[in-house]
Amino acid sequence: MTYEFTIIVPIYNEEGNIPRLEKELSNYIKIAIRKTKVLFVNDGSKDHSQSLLEEICAKNTHFSFLLFDKNYGLTPAIKAGFDATTTELVGYIDADLQTSPLDFNLLLEHIPKYDLVTGVRQNRKDSTFKKLSSTLANIVRRAFTKDGVEDTGCPLKVIKTSYAQRIPMFRGLHRFLPAMILLQNGKIKQVPVQHFPRIAGKTKFGFWNRSIGPLADCFAYLWMKRKYIDYSISKRSFDI
């Protein structure tokens, strides 16, 4: 089968969510508007996540996995997924399923005209503190990047792979994906998506990486922006 879209799912100690992931993603693949496969990236889980992932991948050709030798973090997991992707389109979703794979179809409808389509979570089912820290982080990030994105932390995105693989990733850059597409003169689109409460597992983010951490990342982004190299080839004399 020739696939068109790869969904990256970073995994870190999510054994309680993995059976639901298999069910929800399998259901989505049946109705996806692009031929879809799933790539789990196990970020050095210490629970039984890996054995569950191997069982899923052994019985379903639409699923595959990468296993890190230790815990590196969310951004390295996303980058590893981007690097391994061979399809025209790549997206990702968090393993907690607070967003629905079904909403990928809403994003994919816009991808022919845009280079990144990101979800905007509606009626968020999070704690007041979590929503407040996320709102603050978005305000600060927009002040630095001028990308105009309302909810850059939404874990539901679709990107043209050619753009995703040109992003010079650093830790925390998953918050800046729209801004990095704009640096490549790409076009971005925001689409409202559903949001659900976390049912199993524990959040991997606390006060530091929801508020103070993103502020530090903004300065790293500004440094990288000044050093960023982008170019396009208009003509060549040979085939690669």
CATH number at residue 77: 3.90.550.10
Question: Which domain does 170 fall in, by range?
Answer: 5-227
Helix count and strand count (H, E) for the chain = 9, 7
Whether residue 232 is contained in a domain is answered as no
Q: How confident is the model at residue 198 (pLDDT cuts 50, 70, 90)?
A: confident
Q: How confident is the model at residue 134 (pLDDT cuts 50, 70, 90)?
A: low
Whether residue 182 is contained in a domain is answered as yes
Q: Per DSSP, what are the bridge partners of residue 66?
A: 41
Whether residue 235 is contained in a domain is answered as no
Whether residue 31 is contained in a domain is answered as yes
Q: Which of 95-99, 149-153, 186-190 comes out lowest in average pLDDT?
A: 149-153
Our count of domains for the chain comes to: 1
Whether residue 154 is contained in a domain is answered as yes
pTM of the prediction?
0.82
Q: What is the DSSP string of 52-79?
A: HHHHHHHH-TTEEEEE-SS---HHHHHH
Whether residue 233 is contained in a domain is answered as no
User: Distances in Å between the alpha carbon of 99 and those of 77, 125, 153, 220?
Assistant: 19, 10, 12, 28
pLDDT digits (tens, 9 = 90+) for 214-223: 666 777 777 7
pLDDT digits (tens, 9 = 90+) for 82-107: 999 999 999 999 999 999 999 999 99
Whether residue 237 is contained in a domain is answered as no
Whether residue 36 is contained in a domain is answered as yes
